[in-house]
Chains A and B, each alone.
Chain A
């Protein structure tokens, strides 16, 4: 059982948990993930490690409430324990001095990008960060990224903060610079990673993407996470999670991610209903002043 040391709500739907996990903190490297289950009947879900502190023996998870499990997870408080937590899983990111690296983080994808960007910077790379979000409220880790990035570009879909643009727009401009990037690492929604890969392809800029697929065990046993990369089947949990973005069959991956869409949507609705009921009940129960 792993204790939640600190809980912070970053935005309406995004939470940051610092969790006691000394063994994982000792072994984990950028790019790796964990799987957790919060109740006996709960689902096992993969979440990328956003940061770790070996001295304190803790890891940081940043997640968005998108499904039943993440909603229930968000309801846990400091001192509560996570029933099952296993990791670090997946192959660590390959870190070296490539030259100039562009890190593109979309939405919650900025969280897993952070430790990778930090390691790339430490390896001597020039680091350019592009953060993309739907709206200002959903821009995360801006301050943290600022401390490591040589250049930072923020885009929002609605123009409420930074540039009103999709991340692919500044990415294209960077590829058109006299000295184009040596590597792009893009992490975010599949559709964003797909279009980042399409943006860099004509310029021949190597592009790494980190995939977050459906998983059960995370050790290669179930094969639920499989994706087609360069025409071959690969398991995200043991062969990835990072792959060459120019070779990933994103359309197939997106279809596969929707395998349980019907059940997920109804669960999500149910979650919000229950939360609303709880809120109203709490209001009623609150002592009258």
Chain B
């Protein structure tokens, strides 16, 4: 029986057990692409929300990159007022259904949660992400998603380059002010990394499509198959096409390799390629899709982030017999979300921690045959604060594989930089933007991974918010 939220003491709240989110059975989900996590029921959501003690100092808000009023929306769920809850979230976040699913909550809002601290386990913090997901799904399932109102047309034109999380946020916020917005996407489908990168089993594509549909209903024009830099230069969007301001949110998009022997053998893929084939091109649907994907039996995935988990779990779903995940630090240092690591293990991914590939060996046809690895131990902390992995000399050993997927991150895509010489970049090739998202060219703003380096959906969205405000301010003063 659900207690009333009004009369619970903090002690009683602490005593409510953390609510597990139902998910598909591992044995079953390994054979399908459907979403793994199934989401809370209303009762579970209310129980979970009642665990929140509404701290005065709101540490969770401090941990949120876009400062959502977390205690506010959680309390509304506990009170049974889902509408109020989603309205609170939407003041700060445009993509709650996405963020509830892919944000690394345990290092953001849930990390400083008082409940987690009291129970001495960050994984026992209030499940803010699951609650965000619950209430955004409730909104969608009940047909409550409203198209935001748009102010009177101003006659000003804004170009948004890239249709990922940063671009979607900018397009919505700028369009709301009555400016005409055109969004450019290089691929034939919109959504950026949410469509080509994150698999269906973690983020159903229909959710991304709904966000894009909302933009179109608001009057945002979308041009697909348009590579800014090639189809049109950035500067020409202003000079030839009359855009008053531009937002660049093109993402990281240049896969990093390890520069080890054998990396160009047949059967070695960047995670980007492997995931794009499966997600964007739907190659997992082998009967329907014309795009081929490698038939793998034994797969090695290099890396320990969310992308590595996505690639490993995709390989399992595509029928690989064995998937080895090779990461040179320990599980504590893994940048992947705890839930993804947990799900990957449940699905039978074999974790090789404190190990790293030294070289990839091929057969006489140039196909991957085996990898040679080295063992590591943890040394002193490095610049990132994580303990540096140190190689154990002479620890070489081999694993026989036919496929290697490299998931060690992305560098910034060089296209915009190559074709826009006046745009300042840093030594890693990221666009330089100030705290308001302004680049070195007047009227041009940037945000998301192209500025941050490979980061997260929520950070990209947060930067989009800031850049959109700057663009709106800029257009007020621009004649």
B residues near A23, Cβ cutoff 8 Å: 226, 231-232
Q: Residue among B255, B277, B280 with the most chain A CB within 10 A?
A: B255
Q: Quick one: closest B residue to A254, CB to CB?
A: B366
A171 to B253, CA, bound (A): 41
Nearest chain A CB to B268 CB, angstrom units: 9
Interface locus among B99-107, B286-294, B343-351, B383-391: B286-294
On whether the beta carbons of A264 and B292 are closer than 8 Å, the reply is yes
Q: Quick one: closest A residue to B406, CB to CB?
A: A223
On whether the beta carbons of B413 and A263 are closer than 8 Å, the reply is no
A259 to B274, CA, bound (A): 13
On whether the beta carbons of B281 and A216 are closer than 8 Å, the reply is yes
Pick the contact of A86: B226, B285, B415 (CB < 8 A): B226
Does B186 touch A at the CB level, under 8 Å? yes
A residues near B436, Cβ cutoff 8 Å: none
Report the number of A-B residue pairs with Cβ-Cβ less than 8 Å.
123
Contact-size category for A: 35 or more
A266 to B60, CA, bound (A): 56
On whether the beta carbons of B414 and A220 are closer than 8 Å, the reply is yes
B residues near A85, Cβ cutoff 8 Å: 225
- Given A41-B289, A84-B225, also A216-B277 (CB < 8 A): yes
Pick the contact of A222: B224, B230, B273 (CB < 8 A): B273
A residues near B230, Cβ cutoff 8 Å: 27, 87-89, 219
- Interface positions, chain A 110-164, Cβ under 8 Å from B, are none
On whether the beta carbons of A256 and B264 are closer than 8 Å, the reply is yes
Interface locus among A50-58, A98-106, A191-199, A224-232: A224-232
On whether the beta carbons of B253 and A68 are closer than 8 Å, the reply is no
A216 to B277, CA, bound (A): 8
Does A252 touch B at the CB level, under 8 Å? yes
A263 to B259, CA, bound (A): 29
Pick the contact of A42: B267, B276, B290, B366 (CB < 8 A): B290
Q: Is the interface of A mostly helix, strand, loop or mixed?
A: mixed
Pick the contact of A228: B226, B253, B264, B414 (CB < 8 A): B264
Nearest chain A CB to B280 CB, angstrom units: 8
Q: Residue among A216, A218, A226, A251 with the most chain B CB within 10 A?
A: A216
Pick the contact of B414: A84, A223, A238 (CB < 8 A): A238
Does A210 touch B at the CB level, under 8 Å? no
Does A221 touch B at the CB level, under 8 Å? yes
A39 to B288, CA, bound (A): 11
Encode contact with A along B257-297: 1 for CB under 8 Å, 0 otherwise.
10100011111011011001100111001001111101100
On whether the beta carbons of A238 and B264 are closer than 8 Å, the reply is no
- Interface positions, chain A 206-224, Cβ under 8 Å from B, are 216-224
Nearest chain B CB to A186 CB, angstrom units: 22
Encode contact with B along A248-260: 1 for CB under 8 Å, 0 otherwise.
0101100110111
B residues near A224, Cβ cutoff 8 Å: 269-270, 273
On whether the beta carbons of B266 and A256 are closer than 8 Å, the reply is yes
A residues near B188, Cβ cutoff 8 Å: 37, 44, 83-84, 86
On whether the beta carbons of A219 and B292 are closer than 8 Å, the reply is no
On whether the beta carbons of A252 and B264 are closer than 8 Å, the reply is yes
A residues near B273, Cβ cutoff 8 Å: 216, 222-224
- Given A86-B186, A223-B273, also A251-B366 (CB < 8 A): yes
Does B365 touch A at the CB level, under 8 Å? yes
Nearest chain B CB to A40 CB, angstrom units: 9
On whether the beta carbons of A43 and B231 are closer than 8 Å, the reply is no
On whether the beta carbons of A217 and B290 are closer than 8 Å, the reply is no
Nearest chain B CB to A239 CB, angstrom units: 9
Does A69 touch B at the CB level, under 8 Å? yes
A221 to B274, CA, bound (A): 11
On whether the beta carbons of B282 and A41 are closer than 8 Å, the reply is yes
Nearest chain A CB to B75 CB, angstrom units: 42
A227 to B263, CA, bound (A): 10
Nearest chain A CB to B182 CB, angstrom units: 13
Pick the contact of A259: B290, B291, B294 (CB < 8 A): B294
- Given A84-B224, A222-B270, also A227-B264 (CB < 8 A): yes
B residues near A252, Cβ cutoff 8 Å: 264-265, 366
Further 18 A-B residue pairs, CB within 8 A, beyond A43-B292, A88-B230, A224-B269: A23-B226, A41-B282, A42-B290, A43-B281, A84-B225, A86-B226, A86-B227, A216-B273, A220-B414, A222-B255, A223-B255, A223-B269, A226-B257, A233-B259, A238-B254, A255-B367, A260-B294, A263-B292
The 6 sampled A-B contact pairs (Cβ below 8 Å) are A83-B188, A88-B231, A220-B414, A220-B415, A221-B272, A223-B273
Q: Which A residues form the contact surface with B (CB < 8 A)?
A: 23-24, 27, 37, 39, 41-44, 68-69, 83-89, 216-224, 226-228, 233, 238, 249, 251-252, 255-256, 258-260, 262-264, 267
